[in-house]
């Protein structure tokens, strides 16, 4: 009888673990991050396939180079808390093929107006989000 209960408990635990893993795969990684590939900017936009934000904020497009430091902002798009799919930011400056762009998550905190992007390089308003002291971003090359 004890062996039956143990076997039944093991089967139940295995099924529960499998269901949890399937659910995690179905919903994807919900850790803050930016997923994007190198892409054409001929249409005047830069897109991320997926952005996960832990609060409402912005996907901000910075110029960058081999130093991987964020430079001037050349576009932004609003983000909602949670998972955002196919986020497109309209470029506000010309970007050429070969230029490196940093797609970074910024918050909505510190500004004077909700829903208006107020950040300028180095400012506190609507500034970059950090997780474990690391920026939430990825870098792509314009095609």
- Residues 57 and 32: their CA atoms lie apart, in Å, by 12
| Helix ranges, the chain (H) | 2-27
Question: What pLDDT score was predicted for residue 44?
Answer: 97
Question: What pLDDT score was predicted for residue 4?
Answer: 55
Q: Are 68 and 56 in contact, with CB atoms under 8 Å apart?
A: no
Question: What pLDDT score was predicted for residue 24?
Answer: 42
Residue with tokens 């050429």: 96
Question: What pLDDT score was predicted for residue 124?
Answer: 83
- Residues 64 and 80: their CA atoms lie apart, in Å, by 25
Question: What pLDDT score was predicted for residue 14?
Answer: 46
Question: What pLDDT score was predicted for residue 25?
Answer: 44
Regarding beta strands 130-131 and 57-64, do their DSSP bridges make them parallel or antiparallel, or are they unpaired? unpaired
Give pLDDT tens digits for 6-45: 445 444 444 444 444 444 444 456 899 999 999 999 999 9
Q: What's the token pair of residue 116?
A: 């208006």
Question: What pLDDT score was predicted for residue 122?
Answer: 79
Parts of the chain with a pLDDT under 70: 1-29
- Residues 27 and 134: their CA atoms lie apart, in Å, by 24
pTM for the whole structure = 0.79
């Amino acid at each position: 009888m004890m062996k039956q209960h143990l076997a039944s408990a093991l089967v139940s635990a295995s099924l529960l673990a499998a269901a949890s893993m399937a659910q995690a795969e179905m919903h994807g990684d919900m850790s803050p991050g930016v997923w994007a590939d190198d892409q054409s900017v001929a249409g005047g936009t830069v897109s991320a396939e997926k952005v996960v934000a832990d609060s409402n904020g912005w996907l901000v497009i910075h110029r960058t180079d081999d130093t991987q430091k964020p430079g001037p902002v050349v576009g932004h798009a609003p983000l909602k808390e949670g998972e955002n799919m196919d986020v497109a930011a309209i470029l506000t400056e010309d970007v050429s093929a070969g230029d490196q762009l940093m797609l970074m998550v910024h918050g909505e905190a510190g500004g004077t107006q909700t829903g208006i992007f107020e950040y300028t390089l180095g400012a506190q308003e609507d500034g970059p989000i950090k997780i474990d002291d690391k920026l939430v971003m990825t870098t792509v090359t314009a095609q």
